[in-house]
Amino acid sequence: VNVVLLQQSMNAQTNQLSKRLTLLENNEFIEPLLDDVDDPVLADIRDIPRVCNAIQQDWRTVGLNRMTAWNLANCIRERMKGRVDGSIQSHGAQIDILVTGCEVSLWVAEQFVSDLQKSFPYLFIRAVSSNKLLGLFGQELVMPCTGFPYSQKTMDIKNSPIVMIISHSGGTFGPLACSNLLQSFSSSIFAVTSEWDTQVGKQLRSMYSDDLLSSRIFSTGVGVRPAEPCSVSVVATHQLLTNIFEHICVSIISEPTFRHVSGAVITELDLQILERCNQENIRALEEIVCVDKHGGELHERRCKTEVELRSAGDLWADHILEVPKAYIMSFIYIMATVTSGWPLVCGLATACGLRSSDWGFFITRFLDACLYFWLPQINIMILRLVQGRNLRHRMVGRTVVIGDCPWVAQSADAFLSKIFACSYSIAGLNVLHGNPADHLVHRHTHRVVRGTLLVCGRPDGRLPALTSLEASTCLSVNQASSIQSIGGTCESITIGHNKSKLPLSKHAIYLKSHRPLFLSEKVLDDIDAHEDLVRQRKAKQSEEKDSLVRGRSFYERAKSFLPEKKDVSFLELSLSRSRKAKTARSSASLLGAYVDLEKQARQTRSETADVFLAVEKMIKDRQGIENARRLFNEIDSDGNGVIGVEEFIAAYQKKDPNLAEEHLHRLFAEADVDDDGMLQFDEFVKVSQMPNLVSELSVKNRDSRGLTQVQASKERYFGEELRKHSLNPGVSSLAMSQSQFFSMELYESRIASMQRFVAMTVMFHQMGMRVQSFFPKISFGYWGYRMDRTHSIMRIASTASPVSGADVRERIEEVRLMLKIENSVALIARTWRKYSKGKKGRKSPISSE
């Protein structure tokens, strides 16, 4: 370690180097350095629940993250106002929100952008690598993005888009250079980093004032982590982006005009469900890493998942260590037999009385020579027999294939690759990744050989929005596991929230779902429980009838066969449901069950079509109008024939005191088509016919302190209120659950995928630790390496960039000058067009004469 001491002097203020330094002492914006530990990778993994809980708790307080969120919301609203009034054109090249980063930060950002784009399809939101931005806009000669649809014409960032720079370390060269470059294009730049006083943070503070009210930095609070394999910093970034995602959504859907211009798909109920899952996620993370949110050890009863993950890691470590163990066994055998002069076969032959002069003794020497040649393979077979592993796997270096959604697969690949970066070649590892629902089969199944290790994350197929996705994932695993060579295939492990195990996989690790059931799960659970109860009661009645038949009269025997009518008790139903919950459904079974329910729902809808027509006719007939008129007159307290906003709010709050006044104001504004501040009767009729009005209005987006806050759902199962207050009795529960499909997708991308990534880090850490600790044991401490390091001389806080940033400073001034010229030319052109149009208008009467 090289330590450089910079002597502070009176000229420190003028020293260019001192301006680039970060003060470590007495700096409240710097997280204190962690204590030295023997295993920094494990320390990071075990710190995940505490960090995620701290981020959530900080988001509910008036902290710096909330100040930054307030500034972000203001920028979002200004952008939306520009889209509403037409000052910002809505064409595909003009980007509204630009998110950039490198490596892991970019992969996490891409998932964030995907969720945001699906929520608001009319907005143009892009995630672009910082290296590509530097190549396009930061070079004297533009570097083309071959293979990507990015160019200066397809990416219009001149109209001050909202920029988010994601850097989980805060000092990566690419994002740091972009924080300089993009100042020429936008005044709305934000950063998501590990702490406040990073290099990226300094750059943004130089752009804006140091006033906290102008804060543009989101901090995960992770601080500096010395371990190269990234775990807690990745999870913390994903967690913080979930909170930012909710805040952006609330800022847009709170205004009706913003919802319209953005084409908002997400609803407030979706956000409520996501926030409930977000809060319950802490408990799930605790069980995966076996540490609570305060840093304490969990009871062993809650550590079953962690034990199962580490057992899988030990099993795969045995695969990796079998070659060095076999060579050690071979070394011991050769040293013993050669030194003693008694090879195994020759020694046994001599002990049996065979003399060296006999011709048969040469055969024993030949057998000993063959034994020496095949000794490593023989020892490997002995190890596999002892460990109970497949004997037909290849005896070469191992390959691990990771399958999951893109951000999880890529991040887990980077984590495992760095774990084995310094491992000896005899215990090396190749790591590949792919999306099992897309290209995993096409890219890697031809490389599946005997002994390939495949770990695949399974989406929660118990949710109908994810059932097909899980079925595709399971099909990919089965296809890879069915490729055989000499009777052997890959060894696959699945990780997910569905208890069912694939028949061709080695093991299935189940992650407990710490969330309420969705409506579709509730429906399926009730059906399963009822069917199970019916089967049990039929079996019980059959046993009772068989026992009563013996020793009774003919009349009593005949009476015993008559059916008994009994109502299903709530207790019996609950007990049956608890028993049935232990039975897992495969993705194929779930897919078939939901298809059958959909067919039944269609049949029910066709049978009750006449009821729907009658209800629709009743709404439109005179009686329905008279009822609306009667309600209108009751609300019109002063009898002037119109309803004012005060009368409207008072009437609805009298009906439900929990209704938020700001939502009633917004509803009134939506109904007031002519903007005269009064509701006419026809305008009121439209309001009274809005479905689920009370449930929509009872959502509050602010807490008691006035902070914009998504309130978590308090339902026992998601959709309880929807099912209870359904206005249409002909609509099935499964049809109603389709309104939750988008919230199910958000649960998968924001919550469930994070849990699978953390589970993979636990498993991979155990693999790496077993291999790392093996070599010091066999060499008495002489051999060894650290899995928290790599061979790169660059640290995680300063990852190198393939694109130079040397031209950025010059390009900043050039871009600013070019933008000023373009804006001036555009202003002159608009003015000239207005002048010409007005001049033609004045001349037209004269010319007509």
State the first-to-last Cα distance of the chain, in angstroms, to the nearest integer.
92
Which of 109-118, 120-129, 716-725, 814-823 is predicted least confidently?
A: 814-823
Please state the length of the chain: 849
Instruction: Categorize the per-residue pLDDT at 576 as very low, low, confident or very high, splitting at 50, 70 and 90.
Output: very low
3-class DSSP state of 415: helix
Q: Position of tokens 């049935």?
A: 580
Give, in order, the Cα–Cα distances in Å from 423 to each of 231, 383, 764, 769.
19, 21, 14, 11
Interval 830-843 mean pLDDT? 70
Measure the CA–CA gap between 383 and 306, rounded to whole angstroms: 26
Q: Which of 122-131, 340-349, 724-733, 826-835 is most confident?
A: 122-131
pLDDT of residue 356: 72
Say if CB 677 and CB 648 are below 8 A apart.
no
**778-803 average pLDDT score:** 72
CA distances from 631 to 105, 641, 666, 683 (A): 56, 12, 21, 13
- Chain centre to alpha carbon of residue 719: 22
Contact between residue 651 and residue 631 where contact means Cβ atoms under 8 Å apart: no
Q: Please determine, for residue 740, whether its predicted confidence score (pLDDT) is greater than 90.
A: no
- 415 has pLDDT over 90: yes
- Least Cα distance to 54 among 243, 272, 229 occurs for 243
Confidence band for 408, pLDDT divided at 50, 70 and 90: very high
Per-range mean pLDDT, top range of 156-160, 439-443, 511-515: 511-515
Q: In the predicted model, is pLDDT for residue 438 greater than 90? A: no
Identity at 209, one-letter amino acid code: S
In whole angstroms, what is the distance from residue 294 CA to residue 35 CA? 17
493-516: average pLDDT: 90
pLDDT at 227: 86
How much of the chain, in percent, has pLDDT values that exceed 70?
72
Tokens 């899952």 — which residue? 277
Q: How confident is the model at residue 495 (pLDDT cuts 50, 70, 90)?
A: very high
**Which amino acid, one-letter code, is at 1?**
V
**Closest-CA residue to 471 (of 593, 589, 588):** 588
Listed residue (511, 482, 506, 484) closest to 495, CA to CA: 511
Work out the pLDDT band at 121, boundaries 50, 70, 90.
very high
pLDDT for res 117: 95
The predicted pLDDT at position 105 comes to 92
What would the mean pLDDT of 231-254 be, rounded to a whole number?
A: 94
pLDDT higher than 90, residue 803: no
Is pLDDT of 19 > 60?
no
Q: Which residue has the higher pLDDT, 601 or 358?
A: 358
3-class DSSP string for 572-639: HHHHHHHHHCCCCCCHHHHHHHHHHHHHHHHHHHHHCHHHHHHHHHHHHCHHHHHHHHHHHHHHCCCC
Under DSSP, is residue 506 helix (H, G, I), strand (E, B) or coil?
A: coil
| Over residues 636-644, mean pLDDT | 81
CA distances from 389 to 394, 488, 493, 529, 847 (A): 12, 12, 15, 39, 97
Least confident of 203-207, 428-432, 705-709: 705-709
Question: Edge-to-edge strands of the sheet including 453-458?
Answer: 429-434, 398-403, 453-458, 491-496, 507-510
pLDDT single digits (tens) 52-98: 999 999 998 877 888 899 999 999 999 999 888 888 877 667 889 99
Judging by beta carbons within 10 Å of its beta carbon (0-12, 13-18, 19+), is residue 73 exposed, middle or buried?
middle
Q: Could you read off the pLDDT of 584-626 as tens digits, one per residue?
A: 666 666 666 666 666 665 555 454 444 444 444 444 444 456 6
| Residue 601: predicted pLDDT | 56
Confidence of residue 752 (pLDDT cuts 50, 70, 90): very high
Mean pLDDT value of segment 782-800: 69
Over residues 141-147, mean pLDDT? 83
Please state the rounded mean pLDDT for residues 227-234: 90
Over its C-alpha atoms, the chain yields an Rg (Å, rounded) of 34
Q: What pTM did the predictor assign?
A: 0.80
How is residue 234 written in tokens?
């990745």
Helix (H, G, I), strand (E, B) or coil at 665: helix
User: Burial of 11 by CB count in 10 Å (0-12 exposed, 13-18 middle, 19+ buried)?
Assistant: exposed
Residues 538-542, mean pLDDT to the nearest whole number: 71
List beta partners, residue 128.
Answer: 100
In the prediction, which pLDDT does 679 show?
Answer: 80
Instruction: Give the range with max mean pLDDT: 300-304, 447-451, 618-622.
Output: 300-304
pLDDT in tens, 644-681: 888 887 877 776 666 667 667 777 776 776 777 888 87
**pLDDT of 589:** 67
Nearest residue to 693 via CA among 731, 723, 663, 734: 663
Q: Residue 276: how many CB atoms within 10 A of its CB?
A: 22
- How would you label 693-706 residue by residue, b for 16+ Cβ within 10 Å and e otherwise? beeebebbbeeeee
The strand pairing partners of 485, in sequence order, are 488
> Residue 561 above 70 pLDDT?
no
Report helix angle 304-340 to 268-289, nearest 10: 40
Going across the sheet that includes 188-193, the strands are: 125-129, 97-101, 162-166, 188-193, 217-219
Query: Which whole number is the average pLDDT over 497-525?
Result: 87
Query: Is residue 199 over pLDDT 80?
Result: no
Model confidence at 395, in pLDDT bands (50, 70, 90)?
confident
Most confident of 233-242, 425-434, 520-529: 233-242
For the ranges 112-121, 128-137, 733-742, the maximum mean pLDDT occurs at 112-121
What mean pLDDT do residues 570-593 have? Answer: 52
Q: Is the pLDDT of residue 49 over 90?
A: yes
Measure the CA angle with vertex 769, ends 764 and 772; round to 5°: 125
* Average pLDDT of the segment spanning 177-202: 83
- Tell me which range, 47-61, 638-652, 809-823, is most confidently predicted by mean pLDDT: 47-61
**Mean pLDDT of the chain, nearest integer:** 79
**Residue 742: how many CB atoms within 10 A of its CB?**
20
pLDDT at 756: 96
Higher pLDDT, 792 or 555: 792
pLDDT at 2 over 50: no
For the residues of 64-126, what is the DSSP string, one character each?
A: HHHHHHHHHHHHHHHHHHHHHHTSS---TTB-SEEEEE-HHHHHHHHHHHHHHHHH-TTS-EE
Poorest-pLDDT segment among 169-178, 259-268, 550-559 = 550-559
Asked if 477 and 437 count as a contact pair (C-beta separation under 8 A), the reply is no
Q: What is the dihedral of CA 432, 438, 444, 449, to 10 degrees?
A: 110
Tell whether the model's pLDDT for residue 761 goes beyond 60. Answer: yes
Lowest mean pLDDT among 52-61, 207-216, 339-348, 728-737: 728-737
> Would you state the pLDDT for residue 417?
93
- The rounded percent of the chain whose pLDDT value lies above 90 is 30
Q: Which residues pair with 217 in a beta bridge?
A: 191
DSSP-derived pairing of the beta strands 643-644 and 398-403: unpaired
